[in-house]
Amino acid sequence: LTGWKTKKFKGQTQYQLTKLDGSQVLRADSNASASGLFYEQRIDLQKTPFMNWRWRIENRLGKIDEQTKSGDDFAARVYVVVSGGLIFWNTKAINYVWASTSPKDKAWPNPFAGDHAMMVSVRSSSDKTGTWYTEKRNVRADFKQLTGEDSLYIDAVAIMTDTDNTKGKAAAYYGDIYFTAE
């Protein structure tokens, strides 16, 4: 986890490298907590707009309204950040989430950050727990669609498993995250 930094919101989600299904992956365990790991690196979305990753969850968070502050918890999320520099309110993010109740491909503003952080349900309750899924998203196209801005770069990638608002428990695994031209 060289270069990854912790961002605490409430409590501490436990992250540890482990072997699963023959690969080294990151396991996340959240018990009424919310903390994430982020990696600061400028990524040129003109050259490599596609973010690729693998993930799996071990459990869902039940019947929650993920579009409210009290339900803003996800067994797994991978997000990208465009820094606003010293003008923090210009910071934008897209959270690709594994939703418990929101349908797949639904987008909404984060209940805490508003349209500065857009949520996109990549997986939902129709997807199996305990199963690896491989994802590919055109981050540049998503920023255009969700924010109306043509973001040429992102400044950080982050992951988070959080259950602080619902006081629940969740376990997830994250594989490699990388960017490609196609």
Q: Which domain holds residue 174?
A: 5-180
What are the tens digits of pLDDT across the range 37-83?
A: 999 999 999 999 999 999 999 999 989 999 999 999 999 999 999 99
Mean pLDDT taken over the chain: 95
- The CATH number of the domain where 45 resides is what? 2.60.120
Q: What is the pLDDT of residue 149?
A: 92
Provide the domain count of the chain. Answer: 1
Would the CA dihedral through 19, 23, 25, 27 be positive or negative? negative
Q: What is the pTM of this model?
A: 0.94
